[in-house]
Amino acid sequence: FTITNSGTANLTISGITNNGVDAASFTVTNLVATVSPGGSTNFTVQFAPVSAGVKNATLHIASNDTNNNPFNIALTGTGTNAAAPVIGVQQPLGTNLTNGVGTNNFGSVAVGGTNSLTFTITNSGTASLTISGITNDGVDAASFTLTNLIATVNPGGSTTFTVSFAPASTGVKNATLHIASNDANNNPFN
């Protein structure tokens, strides 16, 4: 903000304050200054909401101006949720998986044979999703080969990777897949 003095005597700013329900969302430089006739000075108000929604406060500039003391300014701003990525995993395409729940079955495969499943990673968030790696573990992890995908998925975008099942012996084989990403709520996605 710029304070100007269009009068013929020095304007003395004795302080700047704010109040109102959301005053804590607005940080004000408590400027104390003298402004010469025809001169000006600046101060800054910073808006930093701690929650989402419309925030309101009133700014008060105290001075020796007999007609406008204090000079009041309404402040408003809207807090939004920070941008964040949201991972989703589908298998098959269009069927959403739940982190840590359920099993993807590769079916019966003859020893020496292979069956593959393609997984789709989606990002329904508002920031880029960074896939930092895909790993698997468990007793039979060696039976499952996967692409160690490292990728960035834009908001609303998707990418795919494939897991191949090639058993070296007969019997049920189990492993767990882990998708590491920057999704704060589902890292890793298992």
In whole angstroms, give the CA distance from residue 28 to residue 59. 8
Residue 129 is given by DSSP the state E
Edge-first strand order for the sheet with 144-146 is: 87-90, 115-123, 158-165, 144-146
Q: State residue 50's pLDDT score.
A: 85
Give the residue ranges of the chain where pLDDT is below 70: none
For 185, the 3-state DSSP assignment is coil
This prediction's pTM = 0.61
Q: State residue 102's pLDDT score.
A: 85
In whole angstroms, give the CA distance from residue 127 to residue 78. 19
